[in-house]
């Protein structure tokens, strides 16, 4: 099998992959990436990642596009909370504008990656096309931007009696584009962002929609348009207006997150007050919209322009807080004894988390168990040379962290080139105690928390959920951190 070699291989052409490609080709001028020898490997047949895969009704961003958009290509639409189709077009057009689309190899699924210290390179085994033709590539630096969950399937609990149901059971991740729900009774199981997104759209034509939740989630309403940003664009250059709106929204988000953490009772009261204002004083906010956890211990759900609340108030949708006893031929029977009639049941029950998209990784022949590694600045892993990944914020826009990580990785590569280093190895400090990688109680994280890397109790091992702190650390902090061991070219054969 012929092996192709590249300086940098980027895995994934979604939101983060295009961000990574822009930074590498713009800031790493010495790399072959900007010449003829370059590659982005994409498993699917289109740019966009999550935003091309997910096609359920109403799919949209869960934060405003001034934070969610690329720092180098301002979002110019007046709609701040954008639909999936608009985001997909934005990613595709960004790739085209910078020539990144010409560097993508579609239908390439990376199966395994093996690092050789003697050769100071990664060897990747991939499958190409529907025939799964084996392909081998190698690179000096591997940048994984292939998301954090299983693209093949979402998470669905084992429901009793599901085989008896005569209607259709659908997971939003695999939403059929030919599904006709007009005039149908639809039950959506789940209370997260996906359920809150789907219900207002489906309720427009369905006979009735029920959101069945085991426990409530905090849901707040925000305007779909940012009046300040739209006003600024009338008087300022697009880039300046975008930057001002971005930082203003970042700081407001940090302030609200801090309030939720420092004064959870006040935050609860504020959210409940808005819910009551939107649904009326007679609505049972305590049962259906008051979770057992504090705000921002899990992600808050956003209802643009109160669309979710409007559907409930109009009687087109309802929220039921109960537990499932069993599926029946015609719907779901609950623990309370109530039966929910349904023609279609949507299991908006979450994702399956996956590190590096499920790629099998080995270093010098030894398989890497990422649960035994410690993460550094949200991107590098202990004892795994020349490999970076992207994992965004849990309390803010994904792209904010992605953008900082891509800038940091490009700085790291340039630093290694200037000093003629062939490898960068992150070494754990035995004096630093470990903590869970993510301090978040959401089910999709807790189900696999024992499989995830760890973070440390102090810098630089501490994972901040704070864009301001990360800006100083990733964009302006020094690259030659004491935790990093750099291997000179002449010594690569002795590298561990």
Evaluate whether 3-151+353-494 and 162-347 have a shared fold. yes
Q: What confidence tier does 34 reach under pLDDT thresholds 50, 70, 90?
A: very low
Taking the alpha carbons at both ends of the chain, their separation in whole angstroms is 28
- Structure token digits, residue 329: 């031929």
CA–CA separation, 455 vs 394, rounded Å?
Answer: 15
Q: What is the pLDDT of residue 108?
A: 96
Instruction: Using alpha carbons, list the distances in angstroms from residue 6 to 30, 39, 53, 300, 340.
Output: 13, 7, 28, 41, 56
For residue 172, report the phi and psi dihedrals to the nearest 5 degrees. -55, -30
Distance CA 63, CA 56 (A): 18
pLDDT at 496: 45
Q: What pLDDT is stored for residue 299 in this prediction?
A: 85
Length of the chain: 496
Q: Are 392 and 67 in contact (CB under 8 A)?
A: no
Fold of the domain spanning 162-347: FAD/NAD(P)-binding domain (3.50.50)
The model's pLDDT over 69-98, given as tens digits with 9 standing for 90+, comes to: 999 999 999 999 999 999 999 999 999 999
Confidence band, pLDDT 50/70/90 cuts, at residue 146? confident
CATH of domain 3-151+353-494: 3.50.50.60
Name the CA dihedral angle for 94, 97, 101, 102, rounded to a multiple of 10 degrees: -170
Residue with tokens 């006979």: 207
Per domain, the residue ranges of the chain are 3-151+353-494, 162-347
pTM score, two decimals?
0.92
Using one digit for the tens of pLDDT, what is the confidence trace for 183-216? Answer: 999 999 999 999 999 999 999 999 999 999 999 9
> What distances in angstroms separate CA 37 from CA 40, 213, 363, 386, 411, one per listed residue?
11, 51, 25, 19, 20
Least confident of 42-46, 83-87, 282-286, 298-302: 298-302
């Amino acid at each position: 099998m012929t092996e192709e070699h590249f300086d940098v291989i980027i895995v994934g052409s979604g939101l983060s992959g295009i961000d990574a490609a822009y930074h590498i080709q713009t800031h790493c001028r010495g790399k072959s990436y900007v010449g003829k020898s370059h590659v982005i490997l994409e498993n699917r047949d289109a740019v966009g990642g999550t935003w091309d895969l997910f096609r359920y009704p109403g799919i949209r961003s869960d934060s405003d596009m001034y934070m969610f958009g690329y720092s180098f290509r301002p979002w110019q639409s007046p709609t701040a909370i954008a639909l999936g189709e608009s985001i997909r077009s934005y990613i595709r057009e960004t790739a085209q504008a910078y020539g990144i689309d010409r560097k993508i190899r579609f239908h390439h699924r990376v199966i395994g990656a093996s690092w050789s210290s003697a050769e100071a390179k990664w060897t990747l085994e991939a499958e190409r096309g529907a025939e799964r033709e084996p392909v081998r590539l190698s690179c000096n630096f591997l940048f994984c931007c292939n998301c954090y969950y299983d693209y093949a399937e979402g998470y669905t609990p084992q429901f009793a009696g599901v085989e008896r149901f005569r209607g259709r059971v659908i997971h939003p991740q695999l939403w059929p584009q030919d599904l006709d729900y007009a005039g149908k009774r639809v039950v959506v199981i789940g209370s997260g962002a996906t359920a809150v997104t789907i219900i207002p759209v489906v309720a427009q034509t369905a006979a009735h929609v029920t959101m069945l939740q085991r426990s409530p989630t905090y849901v707040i309403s925000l305007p779909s348009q940012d009046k300040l940003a739209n006003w600024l664009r009338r008087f300022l250059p697009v880039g300046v207006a975008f930057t001002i709106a971005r930082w203003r929204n970042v700081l407001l988000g940090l302030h609200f997150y801090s309030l939720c953490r420092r004064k959870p009772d006040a935050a609860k009261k504020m959210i409940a007050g808005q819910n009551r204002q939107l649904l009326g004083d007679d609505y049972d906010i305590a049962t259906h919209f008051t979770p057992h956890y504090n705000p921002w211990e899990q992600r808050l759900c956003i209802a643009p322009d109160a669309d979710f609340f409007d559907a409930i108030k109009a009687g087109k949708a309802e929220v039921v807080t109960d537990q499932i006893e069993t599926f029946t031929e015609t719907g779901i029977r609950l623990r309370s004894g109530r039966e929910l009639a349904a023609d279609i049941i949507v299991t908006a029950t979450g994702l399956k988390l996956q590190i590096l998209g499920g790629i099998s990784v080995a270093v010098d022949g030894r398989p890497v168990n990422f649960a035994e590694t410690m993460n550094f600045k949200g991107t590098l892993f202990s004892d795994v040379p020349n490999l970076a990944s992207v994992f965004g914020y849990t309390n803010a826009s994904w792209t904010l962290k992605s953008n900082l990580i891509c800038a940091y990785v490009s700085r790291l590569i340039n630093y290694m080139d200037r000093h003629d280093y062939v490898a960068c190895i992150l070494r754990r400090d035995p004096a630093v105690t470990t903590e869970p990688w993510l301090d978040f109680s959401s089910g999709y994280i807790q189900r696999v928390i024992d499989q995830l890397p760890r973070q440390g109790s102090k810098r630089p091992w501490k994972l901040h959920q704070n864009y301001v702190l990360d800006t100083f650390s990733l964009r302006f902090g020094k690259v030659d951190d004491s935790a990093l061991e750099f291997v000179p070219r002449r010594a690569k054969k002795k590298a561990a």
